[in-house]
A and B are shown apart, each in its own frame.
Chain A
Amino acid sequence: MNVVAPFEGIGASVRRKEDFRFLQGRGAYTDDFNRQGQLHAWILRSPHAHARIRAVDTAKAAAMPGVVAVFTGADMARDNVGGLPCGWQIHNKDGSPMAEPPHPVLAQEKVRHVGDPVAVAIAATREQARDAAEAIVVDYEVLPAAATMEAAQKPGAPVIHDGVPNNLCYDWHIGDKAAVDAAFAGAKHVVTLDLVNNRLIPNAMEPRAALGEYDRTTGEYTLTTTSQNPHVIRLLMGANVLHIPESKLRVVAPDVGGGFGSKIYHYAEEAIVTWAAGKLARPVKWTADRSESFMSDAHGRDHVSHAELALDGNGKILGLRVSTQANMGAYLSTFAPCVPTYLYATLLAGVYTTPVIYCEVKAVFTNTVPVDAYRGAGRPEATFLLERLMDVAAQETGIDRIELRRRNFIPTDAFPYQTPVALQYDSGNYHATLDQALAAADWAGFEARRAEAAKRGKLRGIGCSTYLEACGIAPSAVVGSLGARAGLYEVGTIRVHPTGSVTVLTGAHSHGQGHETTFAQLVADKLGVPVAQVDIVHGDTAKVPFGMGTYGSRSLAVGGSAMMKAMDKIIAKGKRIAAHLMEASVDDIEFDRGTFRVAGTDRTKSLVDISVAAYVPHNYPIEELEPGLEETAFYDPKNFTYPGGCHIAEVEIDPETGKVAVVNFTAVDDVGRVINPMIVEGQVQGGVAQGIGQALLESCVYDANGQLLSGSMMDYTMPRADDLPPVGVATHTTLCTHNPLGVKGCGEVGAIGSPPAVINAVVDALRDYGVRTLDMPATPAKIWQIINGGRRMAAE
């Protein structure tokens, strides 16, 4: 009898397996783990943006009830604890390496931002640890702070790190400056634009937490932590900070409640609890409260740019010249230096045939929280710059903004396409995504909607962005040549059990992306094993051979490809076993979704027949083949992947209050082959929510003294459900040409494509007020000021 099972392979919207436990509150997050004899750590953080530490007196704190230990930077120095390492080295224009000042785990002599860890109190309860931390007396000599890049670069600015003149981390560039200058000299139009890409605070739902353990009998350390990449943490913390061999250090990242980049990095607290667990031979746990998250999680974005675009009389782009300053914060976070360089300037061709591009980037230290990758990382900054520039260029050349984009699109037949800024795009169809989005958003019918809104006293605007990004990071040799201190391949193990169920071990890590479902679908599709019989194991260095983790929309493109490669090995071995069992030549064995067949016959063996034979090798080619059915593959991508598409936002502004409402949002993305359409839709919606957040709501604000003014949800505007419109999500697929799945990645496109679409719509809505540009976020007060200023100008 043939039972037709529902299709669960590639392209099916299989419901997320993991949601049963998440929706029932049964996820197991770091803070849910409690150990026998566990102690709690509370980190004393600097209240000053910049100060010298004259003395730290821990005597009173150490004598308080329940307190087991109080440690300072001096204790760590005595144990030769290393600084937090940076994983990427950028070189200056002159070839010299970037400034890379030490990043102590606990402050040594100085504090450099509000929230900089100074000491740790460890006690029986969290409250006791906090009481003790408050009793630590720190004698600070408060120093002048540089809270902004402008302040940090002024003559006579405070010196944040000794030996780093002008607080300059690096002065880097890419592209052919002379060729760009020549292009500008011959241009009909030159469009210039100054932009700020606003600083954001990630705010994953689960605050960071870390639990350190030490086993005295084996000498093994275990760190359970809120990480997107446990193997990377093991490597960095073991090798650079605590000098623990990897064989003696296990890092576990269990269920993690969102990361968005902020949980990629190796943080001080991870090293503190692991080191303290060893010293005290007791488990030590730390869990951030939300206020700590604001001042200790890496922030995102924070660019100031000057951009110039040269065009000919037909609106054809001749060249692009960009000068950007990027805020690094007080220290270099793990991947900070690559964000404003290789994840930003290399994206400045976008979807356009710009023949020559030059970009210089100065990275600047300030007395603020370190800045690193946040959903999109560099690509939202590049996209915002380009897509705002295109709208301003359209305005100033008088060419329709859609038409201007079309005239400059990379033609569909031009792939592979080499840009002037290093990247080679493999595939795309920018006309198709644009056409589909224009139709879905009813762009043509907009003027009627604008007129209708005007009757209601509302200013309505529409805006688009045609974006491209590079993800699926990354070819190891390429990133190595660009300064990465790690490879960026991924690892997958396929373990077919004797009775045919499958366990997949992956170095990728799921913290909301739905890997347990998507990856299981790959196995269902390729091996014909039902999704329910496929388990995905991730996030534990003791279980998974190795891995580089999840960020840069790489899990499917790189991690999924490793699984496909491992499954190819399984099939190859299975064919040899099948050939033996069916007494056929291995070359005659075909495999399709779980069935091995002698070509042209009805002789078949199921995957279960093969797995049983592999583990019970009674009738088995034992002389030439090992028993068992488990294969591991390392996949190193040949190129980045290049998702792209078109986002269209429609907004209405209440001119009396300045409040902007996004009333329609359309996203048409080319993310390559879609494995699970429902999950892709969710990923795009989440990304768009963050993009709208950046465009309209979110802004990290420091005062001149480096105090964080937007230090809580009372003042930092996270997007909420009622701030967001229904988001229409559609895909238009061109396949990635260089990975076995044809996938490109969907995790970041929403956050990359949407901010300029929203701001272009806001500027469009304000067309009668003479607005050329405005900085994000477009808050009510800012819009009111523009409208009010416009009216005043009209009146004067």
Chain B
Amino acid sequence: MYDFAYHKPSTVADAVKLLADPDAKAVSGGHTLIPALKHRLNKPSALVDLSGIAEMKGIRRAGNAIVIGALTRHVEVADSAEVKAAIPALAYLAGHIGDVQVRNRGTIGGSVANNDPAADYPAAVLGLGATVHTSKRKIAADEFFLGMFTTALEQDEILTAVEFPIPEKAGYAKMKNPASRYVMAGVFVSKGPMGVRVAVNGAGPCVFRQAEMEKALAANWSADAVAGIRQSAEGLNSDIHGSAEYRAHLVTVMAKRAVAAAG
């Protein structure tokens, strides 16, 4: 990797100041950024290590929602009694991200802020209609994910927590890319205070909602309701592991499985 300055602030306010430098990068678990640095694909002037900020840690229940601090590692979400009781599908998703090493380092904030189209968490954020808390404001999931690796976050804005409304039912199913084990096509479904939501990750350049499936499930919450709905392949990802048509097909299969998992 190239040389960079290293900062480890202990408050959100200090971190925000350091990120005023447009060439500085925030890092939490580092599972995306560090490999990129090692490959010399990224040349930040400074790394702002968020891991020392206590106020961004922890899982708590707040009324009819679960609030997860941005620095919470995947393994902590997967193992959390609070999350397992309130949103088991979210604990399941966290427990199936990457591998043990990834789950022990990677954080929810890093995953959501990075918005990798093949990451798991964005499906849960959008699929549950969560609210993203930042150092400046609160952003609804529907306004947060803007495109491939692009979110509503500004340069000096830090994602501090994600607030998940507790659904009646939720489920997640994914097909993994055979090589990377990232998501090739995944579907997160939920029914609850935010209505019926179906979020698709992996298949397209950015996580998106499947309106036709939402409508069908609102009328009839069953795997059969989505079995006949075909996702259009237009605009979906295509690579050496699978065509857009294959991914479109998988969206229907994973939607069925997600609904079945939700019960």
Contacts and interface: CB of A to CB of B under 8 A. Distances in A.
A658 B178 CA distance: 12
Nearest to A784: B246
Contact of B242 (A127, A656, A780): A780
A7 interface: no
Given A713-B179, A716-B179, A657 B240 contact: no
Contact of B180 (A291, A656, A715): A715
A710 B239 CA distance: 11
Given A657-B250, A781-B246, A714 B179 contact: yes
Contacts of A130: 40
Interface string A642-659: 000000000000001111
A781 B243 CA distance: 8
Contacts of B40: 130, 134
B249 A715 contact: no
Contacts of A780: 175, 178, 242, 246
Contacts of B39: 291
Contacts, number: 47
Interface of B is mostly: loop
Interface in A761-789: 779-781, 784-785, 788
Contact of A715 (B240, B243, B246, B253): B240
Contact of B241 (A127, A291, A656, A715): A715
Nearest to A703: B240
Interface string A693-729: 0000101010000000110011111100000000000
A779 B253 contact: no
B246 A785 contact: yes
Contact of A717 (B175, B178, B239, B242): B178
Nearest to A717: B179
A781 B179 contact: no
Contacts of A134: 40
The 8 A-B residue pairs with the shortest CB-CB distance in the complex, in nearest-first order: A781-B242, A717-B179, A714-B180, A656-B253, A717-B178, A781-B246, A701-B240, A715-B179
Contacts of B179: 697, 710, 713-718
B36 to A, nearest CB: 12
Q: Which residue of A130, A659, A784, A788 has the most chain B CB atoms within 10 A of its CB atom?
A: A784
A208 to B, nearest CB: 18
A714 B118 CA distance: 12
Contact of A713 (B180, B246, B250, B253): B180
Interface in B177-193: 178-180, 182
- Chain A interface secondary structure, helix, strand, loop or mixed? loop
A701 B241 CA distance: 11
Interface residues on B, range: 10 to 19
A780 B243 CA distance: 11
16 contacts: A291-B39, A656-B253, A657-B175, A697-B178, A699-B240, A701-B240, A710-B240, A713-B180, A714-B179, A714-B180, A715-B179, A715-B240, A716-B179, A780-B175, A785-B243, A785-B246
A507 B77 CA distance: 54
B51 to A, nearest CB: 24
A697 B241 CA distance: 10
A781 B236 CA distance: 15
B175 A779 contact: no
A728 B250 CA distance: 34
Contacts of B180: 713-715
B251 to A, nearest CB: 12
B178 to A, nearest CB: 5
Contacts of A785: 243, 246
Interface in B111-156: none
A785 B180 CA distance: 21
A451 B61 CA distance: 48
Most chain-A CB neighbours within 10 Å: which of B240, B243, B250?
B240
Contacts of A713: 179-180
Contacts of A659: 175
B241 to A, nearest CB: 6
Contacts of A716: 179
Interface in B67-120: none
Contacts of A657: 175, 250, 253
A697 B177 CA distance: 11
A656 B249 CA distance: 9
A657 B177 CA distance: 12
Interface in B213-262: 239-243, 246, 249-250, 253
A709 B250 CA distance: 23
A718 B178 CA distance: 9
Contacts of A127: 1
B115 to A, nearest CB: 18
A659 B182 CA distance: 16
A679 B239 CA distance: 40
Contacts of A710: 179, 240
Given A713-B180, A714-B179, A715-B179, A779 B241 contact: yes
Nearest to B253: A656
B228 to A, nearest CB: 14
B178 A779 contact: yes
Contacts of B253: 656-657
Contacts of A658: 246
A713 B179 CA distance: 6
Interface in A351-394: none
A710 B241 CA distance: 10
B205 to A, nearest CB: 17
A712 to B, nearest CB: 9
